[in-house]
Amino acid sequence: MRKVVTLQHIYGKNRERMAELLKNLVENELKDLEVKVEVSITPENWAEFSLEGEDEEVSANLLESRYGSPSKKTEPGKVYIGFLQAFSEDAFIVNIGVPVRVEAEELKAFGSGKPKQLASRFGLIPHLPVEIEVLESNKNIRARFTKKQLDLWWSWKKASTDRVTVNAATRSEIKSAIKKTGHGRDIYEIERLGLLEHAVVCRETTDGPGIVAAIGPRLKSEMGVVIGDAR
């Protein structure tokens, strides 16, 4: 048996449901491999997968490369993947296994405003996966977002469509909420950002905040909206 702790946080009120959803998603991803999957939650709330079977080693490598593992130490100049944890008065807090601060000085690429305002403008919500480069590794670990990460968020902002970011939901749950509220024709696609984090891409004539108002009550999720500047 091979065990893999992934950089996928188990969050929300119903942790068992989320663990089960993750198990189903990972089983689907590994369906062509000879492996049995079980999922448990570590004391730090990471998803730990137990893999057993002929392809357990291949499966473990696949999960580690795709979702990463929590880091315990950091090195300046090194790039890490993590997720947005919180937005304080003076920084974005990113979790890569340990909390890392992306301070106001490093957020100037977003334009003017306080961290919470910038997060709101770019539709950023907790648990979205991110890529950072560590600048300083002492008691308070400081970092900045990579160019690749900033380019992605700016592509959302400069788009001709609005985007709605959603966490703690599967693609099928989001799709069902859109369909039940009669907004199927107002959506281009649902982009997968993480295992349970997505971006709903609206059509050019569709108002992102209106989609949030419609589907919000049907999903136990946090949501953000980024208004496309080219609309």
| Residue 151 domain flag | no
Among 91, 113, 146, residue at a domain's last position: 146
The predicted model scores a pTM of: 0.90
200 and 176 belong to one structural domain: yes
Out of 16-20, 155-159, 180-184, least confident range: 16-20
Please tell me the total count of domains within the chain. 3
Residues 134 and 178 grouped into a single domain = no
The pLDDT score that the predictor gives to residue 211 is 98
In a domain, 152, yes or no: no
- If asked whether residues 28 and 54 sit together in one domain, one would say yes
Query: How do residues 185-198 score in pLDDT, each as one tens digit?
Result: 999 999 999 888 99
Give pLDDT, residue 18. Answer: 87
Q: How far apart are CA 109 and CA 133, in angstroms?
A: 15
Provide the pLDDT confidence category of residue 17 given band limits of 50, 70 and 90: confident
Has residue 146 got a pLDDT over 80? yes
Residue range 22-45, pLDDT digits in tens: 899 899 999 999 999 999 999 999
128 neighbors 93 (Cβ within 8 angstroms): no
Instruction: With a cut of 80, say whether residue 100 has pLDDT above it.
Output: yes
Q: Are residues 194 and 216 in the same domain?
A: yes
Last residue of a domain, one of 94, 121, 146: 146
Whole-number pLDDT of residue 97: 94
Residue 210 domain-assigned (yes or no): yes
CATH of the domain at 163: 3.30.70.100
Q: Does some domain include residue 39?
A: yes
Q: Answer whether residue 124 is part of any domain.
A: yes
What pLDDT is recorded for position 12?
79
> Which residue in 53, 1, 2, 50 sits closest to 26, CA to CA?
50
In a shared domain, residues 132 and 177: no
**Segments forming the whole domain that contains residue 115:** 79-146
What is the tens place of the pLDDT at every residue in 106-143?
Answer: 999 999 999 999 999 999 999 999 999 999 988 889 99
Helices marked H in the chain: 15-29, 56-67, 115-121, 147-157, 171-180, 208-215
Angle, CA of 204, 208 and 213, to the nearest 5°: 145
Q: Mark whether 164 and 141 lie in a shared domain.
A: no
